[in-house]
Amino acid sequence: MDITSLSYLLFVAVSLLIYWAVPHKFQWLVLLADSIIFYFSIAKAYTIVYLLISVLTTFFAGNYFEKEVSQAKKKAALVVTLVINLGILAVLKYTNLLLGTIDYFSPSNVGRVSWYASLGISFYTLQLIAYLLDTYWGTSNAEKNPVKLFLFASFFPQMISGPISKYNQLSHQLFEEHRFDYVRVTYGLRRIAWGIAKKVIVADRLSGVVAYLFNDPDTFSGLWVLFAGLCFIVNLYFDFSGCMDIVIGVAKCFGIELVENFKAPFLVTTIQEFWRRWHITLGEWLKIYVMYPILSTKAFNRLAKKCKEKFGKAGKKMPSYIAMLIVWLLIGLWHGNSWKYVLGEGLGFWFIIFIGQIGEPVFDKMKAFLHINDKSFGWKCFQIVRTIFLYSMVMIFFRADDLPSGLYMIGKFFSKTHIMGPFRELFAATWGEFGGKWAFMAVAIMGILHIYVDINVASDRCVQDKLVKLPLVLRWVLYLAFLFLIIFEGAFGKSSFIYFGF
């Protein structure tokens, strides 16, 4: 069931009618039934066993932490549960990475496995681990009903692509009473329409251009490599954030507020800030459950002391750079079973941030030497362009077939740029599939609308609040114009969301 399809929207509509009609105490069971139906409509049925194992082990561990006094026993239970949950994720998701690596270093034709992972395994595993650690640390109460914990892990709108929710933030919403609320439901529906438009008008139209550019770096060399990277990040942004709009909009209709996963990332001035506004919940999760725990270990504290003694003030930050490196490598690993994510994306972003931080005194001196006013509008624009440039270049690894292809493309960036020949070829090959001039106009309209929305989001202003204040007739004209823009210029049924693959 594709979440931009009419069948999914019909499924949501029928679910909502049942949800509002049943007594409060049964509402969460409607969500549970929906989540199970949704799961079986997409995934191989037997894969639900993996999800059940994860939920049950986490459930028992959480309750064990509350009863057990011995810290050592609690720690042992934590380790066992983590090993089981991460083990399932690792075996199902990374076996082929291991086999491929073995094959690469000692060609032995070990083959590949074709195991099916359970739906949304990368997302629900992180949610359950967050719940597990929260109950272990005592910052969250353990759930007493395993079925409710199952719903927390499998809540259908967010299951396959997040956002990664924390138990404290989501659980009470799943189980409390939700009556029909006109304002909330219409807000949710508008958000769904906005998400569908982003996906079918922009993301799916751009994906063909991106594929063409990435397939031939010899022709599209020099600045075309940057163009390919830019097209890809716009494609990815509209794809993933469009998916999030639909997910958050659907949950909102059910009265459930999910956390935002994007906050105008293209308007920021540094890569660090970019990542604080792009896939926010993954970054937050890694910060809370990986980076902070690593930095608070005895080993890291000892390392901090030693670095300070040896390198003085400059050495103080060394442990945080190492912890950051671990986090970035994990971000890469989380994205998929290829070294392009780990060594290309993960290491690439870490390197940019690392250089940015250790080089800060030098950059400050350069700014002073060049008399640059870092409060000026021009400098801010330069920083935004620089951030987008760096992000596009690193994300080339994300889109490339594999690590060597990514490296090859980056290498091609430094060769000569031919403008007209490649442009003519690109135009001839992709213009038709892209949809021609009307599709281009629709993409341009969406781009302008999106810049307006993002400027408002960056300032914590809600565009929908402005929209509902418009006169009724004008508002309906705008709704219909927007819906017909989707119907006329959407590329329907072209591809699934990129993040469904993770």
Partner 1 sequence: MKKFVLKSILLIILVFGPVIAINLIVDPAHLFNTQLVDDAADALSAGKIIESPGDFDEGLLLEKVLDGLNEKPDTIIVGSSHIMYTPWAFDDYYVAGLSGAYVGDYFAVCGLLDSKDMLPKKLVFGIDPWAFDSAYDKGRHSYLSPMASYEYNVIHANTNKTSKLNFDGLKKYKEVYSFSYFQSSVKNLKGRGFNYYFGKSAGEIRTVSDPASSGEALIFPNGSRQMPASAFESVESINNAAISAVESGKVYQLKPNFDPSKSVNYEDFLDLLKSLMDRGIDVEIYLASWHPVLYDYFDNAKDYHGVVLLEEALREFARENGIVLHGSYNPNLCNVTAQDFSDWLHLKPEKMLENYNVILDK
Binding site for partner 1 (CB under 8 A): 6, 20, 180, 182, 185-186, 211-212, 215-216, 219, 425, 428-429, 479-480, 483-484, 486-488, 490, 492-493
Determine the residue type at 69.
V
C-beta of 321 vs 492, nearer to partner 1: 492
Contacts of 159 (CB under 8 A, 6+ apart): 35, 38, 39, 119, 120, 123, 124, 153
Q: Bridge-partner residues for 262, per DSSP? A: 278
In whole angstroms, how close is the CB of 303 to partner 1 at the nearest point? 46
In whole angstroms, how close is the CB of 487 to partner 1 at the nearest point? 5
C-beta of 149 vs 201, nearer to partner 1: 201
In whole angstroms, how close is the CB of 338 to partner 1 at the nearest point? 16
Per the CB < 8 A criterion, the answer to whether 282 and 164 are in contact is yes
Separation of CA 410 from chain center? 24
Q: Could you give phi then psi for residue 278, rounded to 5 degrees?
A: -120, 125
Handedness of CA 470, 473, 475, 478 (dihedral sign): negative
Residue among 57, 120, 123 nearest 85 (CA): 57
C-beta of 62 vs 188, nearer to partner 1: 188
C-alpha to C-alpha distances, 121 to 95, 195, 398, 404, nearest whole angstrom: 15, 23, 20, 28
Dist CA 81 CA 92 (whole Å): 17
C-beta of 193 vs 256, nearer to partner 1: 193
Per the CB < 8 A criterion, the answer to whether 340 and 97 are in contact is no
Per the CB < 8 A criterion, the answer to whether 123 and 161 are in contact is yes
In whole angstroms, how close is the CB of 384 to partner 1 at the nearest point? 32
C-beta of 196 vs 243, nearer to partner 1: 196
Q: Residue 47: how many CB atoms within 10 A of its CB? A: 18
C-beta of 105 vs 182, nearer to partner 1: 182
In whole angstroms, how close is the CB of 194 to partner 1 at the nearest point? 15
In whole angstroms, how close is the CB of 472 to partner 1 at the nearest point? 10
Q: In 12-81, at which residue ranges do the beta strands (DSSP E only) sit?
A: none
C-beta of 452 vs 484, nearer to partner 1: 484
In whole angstroms, how close is the CB of 429 to partner 1 at the nearest point? 5
Continuous H helices in 269-419:
271-277, 280-286, 292-295, 298-311, 318-335, 339, 347-358, 360-369, 377-399, 403-413
Report the 3 state secondary structure along 276-287. HHECHHHHHHHH
Helix, coil or strand: residue 228: helix
C-beta of 304 vs 429, nearer to partner 1: 429
C-beta of 250 vs 333, nearer to partner 1: 250
Dist CA 28 CA 35 (whole Å): 10
DSSP 118: P
Residue given tokens 């060597």 in the structure block: 404
C-beta of 263 vs 494, nearer to partner 1: 494
Q: Is 414 exposed, middle or buried (0-12, 13-18, 19+ CB in 10 A)?
A: exposed
Peptide bond into 163 cis (omega under 30): yes
In whole angstroms, how close is the CB of 478 to partner 1 at the nearest point? 13
In whole angstroms, how close is the CB of 213 to partner 1 at the nearest point? 10
In whole angstroms, how close is the CB of 324 to partner 1 at the nearest point? 37
In whole angstroms, how close is the CB of 491 to partner 1 at the nearest point? 9
Dist CA 218 CA 228 (whole Å): 13
C-beta of 83 vs 480, nearer to partner 1: 480
Helix, coil or strand: residue 262: strand
